[in-house]
Structure 1
């Protein structure tokens, strides 16, 4: 579904990504593991069209998408849920969600269906739909951010550090929801520092360090890898 081949990204003389090779099959839940600053968000921003590769190729559903603008990528079916939520805090929950459906604004019935699907996934958001998004708890704001991304009806959703800053119980609920989103038919690419939780729901994983893929494999293999457990799981 998605394939990055020898993708390199430079910011001036600095090489942020070095010959990245990643593939995601339709229906998969794949996780990018790595510490803060490893390059996970740069990979996401490059797939989204926010960064332009210096070399290499990105293909989506067999089509070369290098150089596509971010709005074109959303129309193609790739939607990013950014780290830090990036909500409009003074707008209501429902207004924030509707912003995610902007590309489908001419299809009123589809927008209504998408909104109901989000409220079914996150019932608390329906209760608080008129509340300012900035007044919600951290976990509820993350629900809004994910819901907003789902409003664009993505074929592939990229979730950047969805567990960051959340209480352990909320993290567990969030990962359960991410698994549910995947099982409902949406392909998921997840970037996470919380390897313990991410490897439990993902099928495959890539380990990112200093802008390079240093390890990849099935989740259970990496979970049982001593070096990975020591570096990312603390066991």
Structure 2
């Protein structure tokens, strides 16, 4: 479904990604592992059209999307849920969600149905729908960020560090929700520091170091890899 071929990205003279090759098949959950600054977020921003690669290809269902504008990429079915959530803190939960469906703004019945789906996935958002987003807990804000991304009805979702700063019980609930989103038809590329939790729901993964993919394999292979376990799983 998504394929990166020899993708290279620079910030000025700094090479943030070096000839990255990566594949995500339809229906998969694929995880990107690596330390902060390894290139995971740069990969997401480049797929989303926020960065322009200096070389290489980004293919979605066989069609090149490298260099396309972010709004066109959203219309093609790719939506990113950023690490820092980027919520409108003074706006209500429901207002934030409706902004996520802007690409479908002319289809009111579709928006209402999608909003109901989000509320069913995250019931707390329905309870808090009239509250300002800034009044929510960290876990609830992450649910809102994911829910807002879902309002665009993506075929492919980029999730950047969804568990960061959350309590262990909330992390467990978050990953169950991610798994449910995937089972309902959304392909997911997930960047995550919590390697153990991410690999427990992923099909395969890629390990980044200094802008390069250094290890790749199935989730089971990565969990069995001693170096990966020591560096990212803590065992």
The residue aligned with 1:110 is 110
**CA offset at residue 84 of structure 1?**
1.3
Report SS of the residue matched to 2:162.
Answer: coil
What does residue 31 of structure 1 align with? 31
Q: Which residue of 2 aligns with 1:3?
A: 3
Structure 2 CA distance for aligned equivalents of residues 70 and 227 of structure 1? 36
Equivalent position of 1:160 in the other structure = 160
Q: Name the CA distance, whole Å, in 1 between partners of 2:219 and 2:27.
A: 16
Deviation track 1:177-215 (CA, whole Å, cap 9, x = no partner) reads 100100111101000011010000000000011100000
Q: Look up the SS of the partner of 2:87 in the other structure.
A: coil
Q: Take 1:34 and 1:152, find their aligned partners in 2: how far apart are those partners?
A: 28
**What is the CA-CA distance between 1:224 and the residue it aligns to?**
1.3
SS at the partner of 1:31?
Answer: strand
* Equivalence map 1:216-235=2 (5 Å): 216-235=216-235
Give the SS at the match of 1:114: helix
Equivalent position SS for 1:67: coil
Q: Distance in 2 between matches of 1:98 and 1:209?
A: 37
RMSD of Structure 2 on Structure 1 (CA): 0.5
Secondary structure of the 2:189 match is strand
Deviation per CA, 1:115-165, whole angstroms, max 9, x where unpaired? 000000000100000000000000000000000000000000000000000
Q: Which structure 2 residue ranges, 5 or more long, are not aligned?
A: none
Q: How does 1:1-235 map to 2 (within 5 A)?
A: 1-235=1-235
Distance 1:15 1:38 in 2: 11
SS in 2 for 1:3: strand
Partners of 1:55 and 1:224 in 2: CA distance: 34
Following superposition, the deviation at residue 90 of structure 1 comes to 0.3
How many positions carry a matched residue from both structures?
235
**3-state SS of 2:47 partner:** helix
The separation in 2 between residues aligned to 1:188 and 1:10, in whole angstroms, is 25
**TM-score by structure 2 length?**
0.99
Q: TM-score scaled to structure 1, two decimals?
A: 0.99
Where does the alignment leave 5 or more consecutive residues of structure 1 unmatched? none
Q: Distance in 2 between the 1:36 and 1:165 partners? A: 14
Structure 1 runs (4+) deviating above 3 angstroms are none
- Secondary structure of the residue aligned to 1:166 is coil
User: SS in structure 2 opposite 1:196?
Assistant: helix
Q: Secondary structure at the match of 1:130?
A: coil
